[in-house]
Amino acid sequence: MSKNPVYLPTKNHYEILDGLRGVAAIMVVAFHVFETFSGDRFHQIINHGYLAVDFFFLLSGFVVAYAYDDRWGKMTQWDFYKRRLIRLQPMVIMGTLIGAVLFYFQACGMFPLISSTPVWKMLLVMIVGFTLIPLPTSMDIRGWQEMHPLDGPAWSLFFEYIANILYALFVRKFSKTLLTILVVLSACFLIQYLVMGPNGDVIGGWSIDKTQLHIGFARLLYPFFAGVLLMRVGKLIHIKGAFTICSLLLVAIFMVPRIGGSGHLWMNGLYESVCIIIFFPLIVSIGAGGSITRKYASKVCKFLGAISYPLYITHYPLIYLHLAWVKNYNVSTSTGLWGGVVVLIGSIVIAYASLKLYDEPVRKWLTNRFLKKQS
């Protein structure tokens, strides 16, 4: 195997899966907007919107296996890591930078540490955030004990990188049988936490402590490696209207109210187990097996797929800002929801601008610089 960087052309995308990733990203933003007006985890308007992260993990495992399983004879592990870094890291930096710019405008009672955080400490957190190295709770500058307090959703990218490393080191070599065993054990790990755990949901994963790391790995291991297994098995479902059907299924799953209440936590845990273990792979199988026949639908899926990751990784600083505005000025729910619409639209605009003016040019330069084309 050559030690020189090898350029590997991008494979064709699954258009419907791209579109579904965008649908899920938009639902995440809407979930976070509505979260401002909810009292607790039992009374969310889009109650299960956080499950989009688990869907992203499954999609990611499927796509990584599709893109790289048959390429290990042409690249080293370092080539793989470079490709993943080039794909993901530029927008991590952008999301962190936006979070830093807006940080002091987010001060409110919900974020008690902002007003007392010196600029030098915020800038230090920003620089560390550029690397995606998780911060201990002792370095918190917001008051929510996030490992990335300038851009909360970056926690899932931290776990995404862990999954990519595990895939490159070990899982890519697994037989289907061994991979199936890993997936089954991971499903048991997830079910145990959801059904027998203290909350009856998968909310969490964003702090460096024993409890949150437990949640993070429970959320990561099954969906990511189930996605890899689904790709290798290749059992796709071919039906008409796949994008519409899958989009409606996703929205329905996210919109289902909390099940069981505080007295029966296991009921909601069982619901989320079924969604993550059964319905998400089913949706990906239908999406990957479907096809787009109309040019308009193809453009919609392409657009949604293009903005999905930038939208997910840059929107949360605006959510912090929206929350501070609502709390500081006692904004009514009706007015606040209109503000939430502005946040949603603004997040999409920022995501698209970041994609076109920053992410795509930077990734193109990095690809030309570090992934040389074969002569």
Does residue 2 lie in a domain region? no
Q: What is the mean pLDDT of residues 302-327?
A: 97
Instruction: For residue range 115-157, list pLDDT tens digits in order.
Output: 999 999 999 999 999 999 999 999 999 999 999 999 999 999 9
Residue 6 — very low, low, confident or very high, per pLDDT cuts 50/70/90?
Answer: low
Does residue 88 lie in a domain region? yes
Q: What is the mean pLDDT of residues 254-264?
A: 94
In 3D space, the residue among 85, 144, 88 whose CA is nearest the CA of residue 112 turns out to be: 144
Pull the structure tokens for residue 155.
């926690």
Tally the domains of the chain: 1
Instruction: For residue range 108-117, list pLDDT tens digits in order.
Output: 999 999 999 9
Pull the structure tokens for residue 334.
């009706």
Instruction: For residue range 286-307, list pLDDT tens digits in order.
Output: 999 999 988 899 999 999 999 9
Does residue 80 lie in a domain region? yes
Does residue 92 lie in a domain region? yes
Whole-number pLDDT of residue 1: 41
User: Domain range for residue 202?
Assistant: 15-370
Extract the runs of DSSP E, i.e. beta strands, from the chain. Answer: none
Question: First CA to last CA across the chain, in angstroms?
Answer: 16
pLDDT at 375 over 70: no
pLDDT at 279 over 60: yes
Does residue 170 lie in a domain region? yes
Instruction: For residue range 169-199, list pLDDT tens digits in order.
Output: 999 999 999 999 999 999 999 999 999 999 9
Whole-number pLDDT of residue 293: 85
In 3D space, the residue among 232, 328, 356 whose CA is nearest the CA of residue 36 turns out to be: 328
Residue 32 — very low, low, confident or very high, per pLDDT cuts 50/70/90?
Answer: very high
Does residue 206 lie in a domain region? yes
Q: What is the mean pLDDT of residues 58-67?
A: 98
Does residue 9 lie in a domain region? no
